[in-house]
Chains A and B, each alone.
Chain A
Amino acid sequence: MIKVNTDDYPWQSGMTVRNLLDEKVFTFRHIIVRVNGEYVPEEEYENHVIQDGDDVIVLHLMAGG
């Protein structure tokens, strides 16, 4: 199990940040990803593997409208 934006979320072995974003349908382009507090640049989404127990924050930067 991992945390995604404070909610529990099932973990799968080999899951990358990109996999997670796709599963969650986080399609908004303007986001910030942090895993255990560490910023993950967009170019690393495909390769950054999420470990069981990780705390993932996906901040959607839209306070506008």
Chain B
Amino acid sequence: MGAILKEYRYTPAKIERGYSGKSLYINVADLRIEEKEVTDFMKEKFTGGKGFDLWYLWNAVTPQTRWNSPENEIVISVGPLGGITQYSGTGKSLVCSISPLTDIPIDSNAGGYFGPLLKFSGWDAFELQGKAEKELLIFIDGNNGLIEIEEAEEYPDDAHLLAEELTRKYARDEDDMVNVSVVCTGSAAKHGYMGLLNFSFYDPRRKVVRFKQAARGGLGTVLNDKKIKALVVKYKGVTPNLNNAADISTINKVGVKYHKQMHDLDSKQNAMRQIGTANTVMIMSQYDLLPTRNFQTGGDPEVVNISPEVFINEWLTQGLHDGCWYGCTMSCAKCADHFLLTTGPYAGDRVTVDGPEYECVAGLGSNLGIFDPQAILEENFYCDTYGIDLISFATCTAFIMECYQRGQITREQMGGLDLRFGNSDAVLELLHQMSRGEGFGRLAGLGIRNLKKIFVEDFGADPQLLEDIGMEVKGLEYSEYAHKESLAQQGGFAMATKGPQHDEAWLIFMDMVNKQIPTFEDKANALYYFPMFRTWFGLVGLCKLPWNDIVPADNHKTDSPAKVPEHVQNYVDIFNAVTGQQIDKDELILQSERVYQFQRVFSVRMGKGERADDYAPYRSLGPVSREEYLSRQELYDQQLRDLQGLDPENMHLDEKIARTRSYREDQYEQLMDAVYRRRGWTSNGIPTPERLKEIGMDLPELLEVIKPKL
């Protein structure tokens, strides 16, 4: 145990209608600890969660701040609905910081117990600023109103060891372990830009510490840069109404109705309780949406080897409750127990692997040409314990593999690693190198945008090809959906505020299959509504999955089944019941838009967030290579006939690829124009003063940022 460097005693604030009214500020450079008031202004303009995070971050940084500047912060918040136990998916922690991958604000979220226990300890939000001289641990005891900052250099780096040790350290006994939650990263965060944050919860049935991840954008890299080994919160006494809701009976009633739907319908709909989000792997392949070999194609016959049935029947423990916060009947946090590791420093150990979620199977599996469930689970485990965002890792490794396949880089330049598609041994060795900060792994951890520069300047690679096949926007790697045939989703990814993550909008079925949004204006409306709606989950502390991964039996009778109106009304009712406010579904969107537009202006302030930053690599829009074109030649030829009036029979393949490209790039430009108009942005992507005024966000500091850009 390291020396206690600082003790701070406080009186935990009583939570009223979802808010404690206090936030915690810690500067780890000088060990300063302060309490801040959560003001009515903050609640009105930013609601909570990610909104509070971004507001605190805005006030902490300048346009010159970079991810490793001392003033950069990690801010964690849970939102006013966070921690209620009557509805599913209410334990999300929202995290924001300036990202090492993008240099703009990143937001990411995770289940696990940290956020709710933080609030029940008296804090709506937690700001972490400064850089410590040596590794520290911060412990918050919410029952006794105590914060301790402790030296932490002797603790292990990797998450599964660290969180287990810290959970046992702070728990009084086995029964007390559920009251402890740890936030930490892993050894690879010391060496690369894609470090994640693990959020722990203790699983008393399995008797292991488990994790959910706030993975995107390098938050773990920032935590490591601040020399913070872990954040630990302990709070004993979770009960159903710690939020002191204005109307608990409504929350109970809405919750019971929802849980009955889950009980009756999940097995007929998405089987979330059996397999979690990985239920869609086969579906994605059948609809040509499963990214395969760096998004070159949308599926593969070998995907049957990594199907949901394989994981359910051979790997994942069934029949256990797998919620990552109390009261979640969706119970989708599945895991593989007693998994035997065969590589790396923990070879021979049996561990519990949290996952695999869809992104894991698609990213670490098909997108790397790997169709071996055991290899995927091993990659999954090491990504988590080393603190590596598996989405960025997978998409970045897929890029490396294609560069190698196309002769842009050599095996020697990769330090001897034979990173061809399908070689899981090489992928695992790459992960181990990233953990040790050695060899090619050290380069790979820098992400695609940096690798493109290195491959071109140092290895002589073709810059245009790398721009086309490097699946990143704004510096963040794409999440795992092939989407060439959905123009709306191309925009959903590339115009997303933080970078190409699908949590703003997933419109592929609406657009490509259902054909519900045929015009640019239709697509722009969808790219207005869904990002605004989904932003709201991050403001209040909710998980998105219960919204539409289960829907009411009569959802088909509604005017807009894709929006799941009954569940939207549930959210309105719960928000009102917790906070005592009286919002409706339109006000819900307004709450979101205030923060959405704020985040866009924040990006502009940090030097991105304009039209030039919203362009997609061509691999996102259409077929880059001859092989890609030929893989769906019938479709592409038909599009040349139908959309451009051309005769593909009399065209050379390269000409067909070029004409397809110019058409699709023009379509994307028109989509950008339509989306910008709908969102109230200039043609350069800047939120207009008029729009900011309409939504009550014409704050002087925002107007000052956009004024020179108009």
> Which residues on A are within 8 Å of B, measured CB to CB?
5-7, 25-30, 32, 39, 57-65
Please report the C-alpha to C-alpha distance between residue A7 and residue B639 in the assembled complex, in whole angstroms.
13
Chain A residues closer than 8 Å to B563, beta-carbon distance: 63
Q: Which of B268, B283, B514, B547 contacts A64 (CB 8 A)?
A: B547
Q: A5-B513, A32-B555, A65-B481 are in contact. List 5 more A-B contacts (CB 8 A).
A: A6-B515, A6-B518, A58-B513, A63-B507, A63-B563
Cβ-based interface call for B269 (8 A): yes
Chain B residues closer than 8 Å to A28, beta-carbon distance: 283, 287, 509
- The reply to whether B514 and A5 contact each other, CB–CB distance below 8 Å, is yes
B 517-556 binary contact with A (CB < 8 Å = 1; else 0)? 0100000000000100000000000001101110100011
- The reply to whether A63 and B515 contact each other, CB–CB distance below 8 Å, is no
- The reply to whether B509 and A25 contact each other, CB–CB distance below 8 Å, is no
Q: Which 9 A-B pairs have the closest CB atoms?
A: A65-B506, A60-B509, A32-B556, A5-B515, A65-B502, A63-B562, A6-B515, A64-B548, A62-B509
Please report the C-alpha to C-alpha distance between residue A57 and residue B270 in the assembled complex, in whole angstroms.
21
Please report the C-alpha to C-alpha distance between residue A40 and residue B638 in the assembled complex, in whole angstroms.
31
> Which residues on B are within 8 Å of A, measured CB to CB?
268-270, 280, 282-283, 286-287, 358, 481, 502, 506-510, 513-516, 518, 530, 544-545, 547-549, 551, 555-557, 561-563
24 residue pairs A–B, Cβ–Cβ below 8 Å = A6-B518, A28-B283, A28-B509, A29-B268, A29-B270, A30-B270, A32-B555, A32-B556, A32-B561, A58-B514, A59-B514, A59-B516, A60-B509, A60-B513, A61-B548, A62-B280, A62-B509, A63-B507, A63-B510, A63-B562, A64-B506, A65-B481, A65-B506, A65-B508
Chain A residues closer than 8 Å to B280, beta-carbon distance: 62
- The reply to whether A27 and B286 contact each other, CB–CB distance below 8 Å, is yes
Chain A residues closer than 8 Å to B286, beta-carbon distance: 25, 27
- The reply to whether A62 and B515 contact each other, CB–CB distance below 8 Å, is no
- The reply to whether B551 and A30 contact each other, CB–CB distance below 8 Å, is yes
Please report the C-alpha to C-alpha distance between residue A3 and residue B555 in the assembled complex, in whole angstroms.
23
Please report the C-alpha to C-alpha distance between residue A59 and residue B563 in the assembled complex, in whole angstroms.
12
Chain B residues closer than 8 Å to A25, beta-carbon distance: 286-287
Please report the C-alpha to C-alpha distance between residue A59 and residue B551 in the assembled complex, in whole angstroms.
14
Please report the C-alpha to C-alpha distance between residue A33 and residue B24 in the assembled complex, in whole angstroms.
52
Residue of B nearest to A7 (CB): B515
How near does chain A come to B375, taking the closest CB pair, in angstroms? 24
How near does chain B come to A38, taking the closest CB pair, in angstroms? 11
Chain A residues closer than 8 Å to B562, beta-carbon distance: 59, 61, 63
Q: Which of B270, B282, B530 contacts A63 (CB 8 A)?
A: B530
Chain A residues closer than 8 Å to B507, beta-carbon distance: 63
Residue of B nearest to A63 (CB): B562
- The reply to whether A39 and B502 contact each other, CB–CB distance below 8 Å, is no
- The reply to whether B518 and A63 contact each other, CB–CB distance below 8 Å, is no
Please report the C-alpha to C-alpha distance between residue A30 and residue B280 in the assembled complex, in whole angstroms.
11
Chain B residues closer than 8 Å to A65, beta-carbon distance: 358, 481, 502, 506, 508
Please report the C-alpha to C-alpha distance between residue A62 and residue B4 in the assembled complex, in whole angstroms.
50
- The reply to whether A62 and B557 contact each other, CB–CB distance below 8 Å, is no
- The reply to whether A39 and B556 contact each other, CB–CB distance below 8 Å, is yes
Please report the C-alpha to C-alpha distance between residue A57 and residue B510 in the assembled complex, in whole angstroms.
12
Residue of A nearest to B359 (CB): A65
Q: Which of A6, A26, A59 contacts B561 (CB 8 A)?
A: A59
Please report the C-alpha to C-alpha distance between residue A65 and residue B545 in the assembled complex, in whole angstroms.
8
User: Known contacts A39-B557, A60-B514, A61-B548; is A27 also within 8 Å of B530 by CB?
Assistant: no
